[in-house]
Structure 1
């Protein structure tokens, strides 16, 4: 088998994982088959390292991994290649907005996850990777978005229609995948990027093949080169079969 695609970059929630938060047997089988045939399989997620790692281990992956939407790139499990931190003043300002809007919020520091129920008095003493908001009130979410855009210096995406995820400007999954390509001696044209949300958009636009899940947000589907089945219907297995093993 010779395929022009050498790297499969997979979002996790809503993509690799079913709604029950597991990897289906069929999908796992095809990922292992692709790995065995020399295709690098890279988890590319908004999750923190410790939350993503068990799934990588379950699949037997030893290749690079992108976590926290690209704020961290791992050369191999437990071996950090790159980390992009967020300005502490921006984190304080984002926290103020969350309090003003009285919505659910969370933030990843290098050490742990903080949220509305468990915040820290020592914002300045932490190294911050990402901040997030969740609200089903469309007007509140729009107000938050406007305030964030006015702040500048931020990369604003989402991982569901009801949230906003914020990384330092220029930090996203596409930039993370580009770093992984450098590590592996590949180009973006050799990448298949698969996802379902706005935090996958840049990767889907810049990869050789950008794939949206059947359950993806409409804007992601509109951008993708191909729309596969949903996360509950082995959409990734379909991509591997179609573009890695049957591309002729």
Structure 2
């Protein structure tokens, strides 16, 4: 029996991972069942490569992987297929905003990840930058940052929690990443399932054949999903694999 869905794209934090930042045995069991049935399982995360690949290895994945919200597409673990970079002048401006508003920031580059503890201005022109982010629980400051970023133009602005902002080049997101993975695997977007919990998952959830929001997902994500499953602590992915992806036994 041919599978309706051939690619399962999984966000990590708040989706694949529990609040203890691990993969539950039940979720892992069902992911392995999906793989045995011929489903491609793809990590699709805002994390950088180094933070994502250990979980792919734990699951035994040898399939494409999407990191830094789609700025990096890996043909297989350790084999880069495509990378989109942020302009260095834009990184400098975004760092300046973090300084002006006094908020925590982080920046992912090919060479490593940085925040205010290890930031070195000398790296600005040397490194290749793939993502920038801010974290603040002050709604007013976060809104002001959002307004400033929007006036800069050429940016894709999402979040991976209600308290942060994540910035990629315009048009680069998990949906564009999944489209690239589909091209690599020779499958259609209609044959994909995308699962996530935050605004950086929204484009993928809207573009996939089946868009799934976790039970713990932000409200805007739940409202735009085809299905809302259980939370990341209650094996929501296992339920989707069992009820929507694998043929009924």
Q: TM-score, normalised by structure 1?
A: 0.99
1:10-21 correspondence to structure 2 within 5 Å? 10-21=10-21
What is the alpha-carbon distance in structure 1 between the residues aligned to residue 248 and residue 16 of structure 2? 21
What's 1:159 paired with?
160
1:1-248 correspondence to structure 2 within 5 Å? 1-122=1-122, 123-246=124-247
Q: Deviations over 1:46-78 (max 9, x none)?
A: 001111001000000000000000000000010
Alpha-carbon offset, residue 247 of structure 1 = 6.2
3-state DSSP of counterpart to 1:26 = helix
Alpha-carbon offset, residue 245 of structure 1 = 2.0
Aligned length: 248
What is the alpha-carbon distance in structure 2 between the residues aligned to residue 40 and residue 120 of structure 1? 40
What is the alpha-carbon distance in structure 1 between the residues aligned to residue 17 and residue 117 of structure 2? 27
What is the alpha-carbon distance in structure 2 between the residues aligned to residue 179 and residue 196 of structure 1? 21
What is the alpha-carbon distance in structure 1 between the residues aligned to residue 18 and residue 46 of structure 2? 16
Q: Is the contact made by 1:3 and 1:247 (CA closer than 8 Å) also made in structure 2?
A: no
Alpha-carbon offset, residue 126 of structure 1 = 1.1
Alpha-carbon offset, residue 111 of structure 1 = 1.0
What is the alpha-carbon distance in structure 2 between the residues aligned to residue 120 and residue 209 of structure 1? 43
Alpha-carbon offset, residue 244 of structure 1 = 1.2
What is the alpha-carbon distance in structure 1 between the residues aligned to residue 121 and residue 56 of structure 2? 34
Q: Deviations over 1:149-177 (max 9, x none)?
A: 00001000000000000001111000000
Q: Is the contact made by 1:6 and 1:38 (CA closer than 8 Å) also made in structure 2?
A: yes
Q: Is the contact made by 1:229 and 1:238 (CA closer than 8 Å) also made in structure 2?
A: yes
Q: TM-score, normalised by structure 2?
A: 0.98
Alpha-carbon offset, residue 117 of structure 1 = 1.3
What is the alpha-carbon distance in structure 2 between the residues aligned to residue 49 and residue 121 of structure 1? 23
**Please, what is the CA RMSD of the aligned residues?**
0.9
Q: Is the contact made by 2:212 and 2:229 (CA closer than 8 Å) also made in structure 1?
A: yes
Q: Is the contact made by 1:161 and 1:217 (CA closer than 8 Å) also made in structure 2?
A: yes
